[in-house]
């Protein structure tokens, strides 16, 4: 079925087609080592979101957001960042606009760790102000993929890392023409298991990448793509089956 991209619609098409839910992705424009494009976080999350939207005739796909909160990556060029406050208000404005348009079911596909806090604040505040809003988030696909794939799929650090094995693999699957594997270098930091350090990225690596991108393959990326899209599609179909009524959620 067609993907209904908001930027391509006109007034007539919008009024004559019934949209009950919307999806948008959030990325970043920042350094991803010497081997991945600056827009990796947006490209991955948008292409996955677009593939998900292809399964739903009532889904409106909003344009990709290439900017995110990337202050902790700015020691590596080329990084363009929004402030936390700006990112939070941008997300709130999008959600409130959807509410005004009568679209109360929203799925957000996040592609960047720095957006997690702004997404949390924006979505919670809109939900409290408008309880009829139903908002779901795929906040960290890079973690979800490792949870869904068989153990041993990844060789280093369970595929984790900024521009690491997992992210480089899915880039090889989704946009291989933008990947230059000959420059793939990373560092695996020894992070504490029971605490969350608040770091600047330059404290963890001198390459602009963590993990081991040299272990990335297109085959791993294809497996990641499949399980992620299937998981989100299945989840949204489940929400549709219960009319997005949280009180009916399975335990």
pLDDT of residue 1: 78
**Interval 221-242: pLDDT, tens:** 999 999 999 999 999 999 999 9
pLDDT of residue 250: 75
Whether residue 175 is contained in a domain is answered as yes
Instruction: Please state, for a pLDDT cut of 70, what percent of the chain lies above it.
Output: 100
Give the pLDDT band (50/70/90) at residue 115. Answer: very high
pLDDT of residue 251: 61
Whether residue 15 is contained in a domain is answered as no
**Interval 123-132: pLDDT, tens:** 999 999 999 9
Q: Which domain range does residue 207 map to? A: 21-190+199-246
Check whether the bond before 159 is cis (ω within 30° of 0): no
DSSP 12-51: HHHHHS---EEEEEE--B--BTBTB-TTHHHHHHHHHHHH
Residue 59 has pLDDT above 70, yes or no: yes
Average pLDDT over residues 131-143: 98
Average pLDDT over residues 131-151: 98
pLDDT of residue 112: 98
**Interval 91-108: pLDDT, tens:** 999 999 999 999 999 999
Q: How far apart are CA 231 and CA 141, in angstroms?
A: 10
Residue 63 has pLDDT above 90, yes or no: yes
Q: What CATH code is carried by the domain that includes residue 103?
A: 3.40.50.10310
Whether residue 13 is contained in a domain is answered as no
Q: Report the chain's mean pLDDT, rounded to a whole number.
A: 97
**Interval 145-191: pLDDT, tens:** 999 999 999 999 999 999 999 999 999 999 999 999 999 999 999 99
Q: How many domains does the chain have?
A: 1
Confirm if 107 and 136 have CB atoms less than 8 A apart. yes
Whether residue 104 is contained in a domain is answered as yes
Whether residue 3 is contained in a domain is answered as no
Whether residue 10 is contained in a domain is answered as no
177 exposure class (CB count in 10 Å sphere: 0-12, 13-18, 19+):
exposed
pTM score over 0.85: yes
């Amino acid at each position: 079925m067609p993907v209904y991209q908001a930027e391509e619609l006109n007034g007539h098409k919008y009024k004559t087609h019934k949209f009950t839910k919307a999806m948008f992705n959030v990325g970043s424009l920042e350094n991803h080592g010497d081997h991945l494009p600056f827009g990796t976080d947006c490209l991955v999350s948008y292409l996955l979101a677009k593939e998900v939207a292809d399964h739903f005739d009532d889904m409106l796909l909003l344009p990709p957001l290439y900017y995110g909160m990337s202050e902790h990556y700015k020691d590596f060029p080329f990084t363009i960042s929004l402030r936390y406050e700006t990112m939070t208000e941008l997300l709130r404005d999008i959600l409130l606009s959807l509410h005004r348009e009568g679209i109360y079911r929203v799925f957000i596909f996040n592609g960047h760790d720095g957006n997690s806090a702004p997404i949390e604040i924006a979505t919670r505040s809109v939900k409290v102000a408008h309880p009829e809003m139903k908002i779901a988030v795929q906040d960290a696909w890079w973690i979800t993929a490792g949870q869904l794939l068989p153990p041993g799929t990844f060789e280093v650090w369970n595929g984790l890392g900024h521009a690491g094995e997992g992210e480089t693999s899915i880039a090889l699957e989704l946009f291989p023409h933008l990947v230059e594997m000959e420059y793939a270098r990373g560092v695996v930091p020894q992070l504490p298991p029971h605490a969350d350090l608040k770091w600047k990225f330059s404290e963890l690596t001198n390459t602009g990448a963590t993990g081991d991108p040299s272990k990335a393959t297109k085959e791993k990326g294809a497996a990641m793509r499949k399980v992620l899209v299937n998981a989100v599609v299945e989840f949204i179909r489940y929400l549709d089956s219960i009319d997005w009524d949280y009180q009916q959620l399975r335990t």
